[in-house]
Structure 1
């Protein structure tokens, strides 16, 4: 351990000689004193790694000494030691940000444990996390070779996210690299799984809940006239971002259900979100609601009729509900709805589509400062968490809890950090998305895409007779051969969606009840 410096303050310090000898044998450097005033004088002249402080001393009390120590050395951890179990002393001490609280008589091992807990915490947690992941790594690797159902893939992906978030706080970069390579391998296997099974999911075979039946299968059973429901769709929200948001809701809501569901292909807003609200696949939307559906190559906003799609779905499901739909695309809109949220109290269903995360991923492509702030998944997660903590959306959720609303949180699709270009050639009517393309006579690298020559097989609309759809696998993104290098350097390491990956397809759906 070497020179960890301890200041121990106690008016009966002589009685603690055995404890001090014990610590010195363990290589700790212990300075002692008998009073609060003496401690404050010593602290002014020397720096210590930790202070053990008796609460009950003549002259300055422990709490008064604590306050002075914190004024002079704010970051030094202080462990309060007291004979008293009175609650107010405990609360005062904890409120003053003590590191630990021990009740006399203390034995040497308690002191040692407190030292390790306080000073070694991050190192010990790192070691424990690393060794736990090393054990789990082998299990995940074995699971990956055998996973063969949509439920198992959702489970495996959640496991990878769990470890990603555990490992992000430790110093060991090599562990993180191992996890990254494991995620990349998982994505390769997942793409093969989707390629083999996706078409069958529409034939009534064993299939996951997907965008087009999410409302009917998952939202509808939660709706009732006795309790209003706030249904929030956060555009472009990955599962790991949801996990970062969740703790900030815990003071207001408790989760009663969390089930991942699958975004349809393309994992893009105009397809997946319209599918949620219409309860239809894109080819059916185009057929039943030609006035609401726009193809990729048509001019105009592709998500302008979500409220109309929802109205048609509610009619089809014969639901007699009082409902409102709100789409938030900027801070001003968000604040306005938060300020007037009480007006939603008589609704059975309030739907809020929130677009911030999508705007963030697009601005990462276009703005250097966002590229800097969201340079990897950890930073991107942190940035979205910071937004959520300070957003009008959290304000609405707090108000919804006070008004007794049930809360449902979901998204339309996720997003992936793209790394590898994949060359594609198409005519001038080919769609522009970087993760999927639809058009005639597309030329592409077969091993880097999932292709559907007949879009009808996956319930997608054909722009013309010979249109096909291709979807980028894993972290590939499509680039045209002309001006190739400029295009590749501009889009590499940006967040894109529309293709096939765990991050884009396996997404959160959570039901929460007010606390």
Structure 2
């Protein structure tokens, strides 16, 4: 490891020689100077890892020296050392971007601790992360092997997301690889779990069932309504649990996060199925029966999500909640987002406001098509980062900040997640077979059974039957479904893209968050 170079600037340096020797014995290279002018010249000519800077020196003060050093090299961490504990001096120093602050007389261990915090922090965190995950690895392995139920799967996925985010701090490629393997193994087991249990969830004989898309409003939104307190149900399209964790700190600045839970998206994990199910409070097979004109199957012309508000009002009526004052706002572009910013105060008179915000879905589709977005979001970490950056600067964030100081309830959820696909699978079908990459329906589908979850009778999955003898298949884990014609082209074109519609932890176990305003 390279030796860290310390510049220590103090007009009483003779009395600090023992401190200098202490640091040198600890492996640091320490250069000393007695005034600010020399320090500024030195920083111009030499690379330095940290500056220890006395605040009170003749000629040019520590604060003035600090300002000049920051002009030359903005990124150098500076530790200010002073006899002066007055608040305005501290404020000036902190406002000038010091990294730490020590009061004289300093003892050698204080200085060492401050240096370690600045220079070794990343390495120490990385080592701690790696060691903690090594301990957790066995626990996760045991959890996967113990035939988890739907609640335990939600906990397993939450832990996997936690460790995926922690692994960003690790500098060990080997540990990241071990984690990636464990996540893939979890998705394989999860595919088996869904294949075994999904039909019983949507054709229930049991009362012990997970909250799913079609029961979300009934059990996770409407129970939070309070008289005189407006509730905002914010649905961000295609938001994975790890993406929620990326934007959580931004929400936490304005809102109190009270409950962080998850629920299961129905199959297919695609907008037209999952989102319509949320607002209708029904499975697609029942929506088609009740709304035969409004419901569109994949192969039919027309918009697939044009009637969400109508479905929403019908659900409220069925649940005897149609006396509520409600609003429904769908944001599909930036102008509609600005309208929301300008209009959000007018929604405070309602009992329940629905805001559907399309962006993350557009991001995932655009990433497939645009080379520049493939570069910007080339893996999970950068995909999270670009989501956080979008949200921080979005009209949605601006709008919500405007009501953060009001007595409001916010329920944030999504319709489905997405998964990064890498394993192409061949599927043969007739001309009516749908084009989706993570699920297909059609007649006489020909596929490798172990690569998909198949429902020969769509009704078993709570789905309409678009044509006689039509069956549904769903890709698992990181698989995607390609036709034999032009197979290599499409396999390469879609490899490493984010897709949805199939069966994976990322697509199916998705966030529902309860927040309140900070009043």
TM-score, normalised via structure 1 length:
0.97
Local SS of the residue matching 1:132 = helix
483-492 vs 412-421, greater mean Cα deviation:
483-492
Q: 1:396-435 alignment to 2 at 5 Å?
A: 396-435=399-438
Distance 1:332 1:164 in 2: 35
Q: Which residue of 2 aligns with 1:262?
A: 264
Match of 1:197 in 2: 197
**Aligned partners of 1:2 and 1:28 also within 8 Å:** no
Runs of at least 4 residues off by over 4 Å: none
Deviations 1:93-128 (A, max 9, x none): 111111111122221111111111111221221111
1:208 aligns with 2:206: no
Query: Once the two structures are superposed, what CA deviation does each residue of 1:391-430 show, in whole Å capped at 9, x if it has no partner?
Result: 1110111012134321111000000111111111122222
The question of 1:158 aligning with 2:161 is answered: no
Q: Is the aligned partner of 1:441 residue 2:444?
A: yes
Question: What is the rounded CA distance, in whole Å, between the counterparts of 2:270 and 2:142 in structure 1?
Answer: 32
**Pairing 1:11-410 to 2, within 5 Å after superposition:** 11-202=11-202, 203-205=204-206, 206-319=208-321, 320-410=323-413
Cα distance in 1 for residues equivalent to 2:341 and 2:350: 15
Structure 2 unaligned residues grouped into runs of 5+: none
**3-state secondary structure, aligned to 1:258:** strand
Structure 1: gaps spanning 5 or more residues: none
Structure 1 distance, partners of 2:41, 2:462, is 77
Structure-2 separation of matches of 1:379 and 1:183 = 18
The number of residues matched between the two structures is 515
| Conserved? CA contact 2:125–2:169, under 8 Å | no
C-alpha contact (below 8 Å) 2:129/2:169 kept by paired residues: no
Report the alpha carbon displacement of residue 248 of structure 1 after superposing the two structures with TM. Answer: 0.8
Q: Distance in 1 between matches of 2:166 and 2:392?
A: 21
The alignment partner of 2:31 has SS state of strand
Q: Given the alignment, which residue of 467, 470, 484 partners 2:470?
A: 467
Provide, for residues 269-293 of structure 1, a one-character-per-residue CA deviation record: whole Å limited to 9, x for no partner: 1110000000001111111121221
Three-state SS of the structure 1 residue aligned to 2:514 is strand
Once structures 1 and 2 are overlaid, which stretch shifts more, 301-310 or 475-484? Answer: 475-484
Deviation at 1:353, TM superposition (A): 0.7
TM-aligned CA distance change 1:2 to 1:218, over 3 Å: closer
CA separation of 1:145 and 1:323: change in aligned 2, threshold 3 A: same
Conserved in 2, the CA contact under 8 Å of 1:154 and 1:260?
A: yes
* Residue 494 of structure 1 pairs with residue 497 of structure 2: yes
Q: Following the alignment from structure 2 to structure 1, what is the Cα–Cα distance between the partners of residues 334 and 327?
A: 20
Measured in 2, the distance between the counterparts of 1:39 and 1:438 equals 71
**After the TM superposition, which of the residue ranges 364-373 and 115-124 deviates more from structure 2?**
364-373
- Higher mean C-alpha displacement, 440-449 vs 83-92: 83-92
Decide whether the 8 Å contact of 1:364 with 1:374 is kept in 2.
Answer: yes
* TM-align CA RMSD: 1.6
- 1:147: Cα distance to partner? 4.2
What's the offset of the Cα at 1:159?
0.9
Is contact 1:147–1:153 with CA below 8 Å preserved after alignment? no
The answer (yes or no) to whether the contact 2:340–2:396 under 8 Å persists in 1 is no
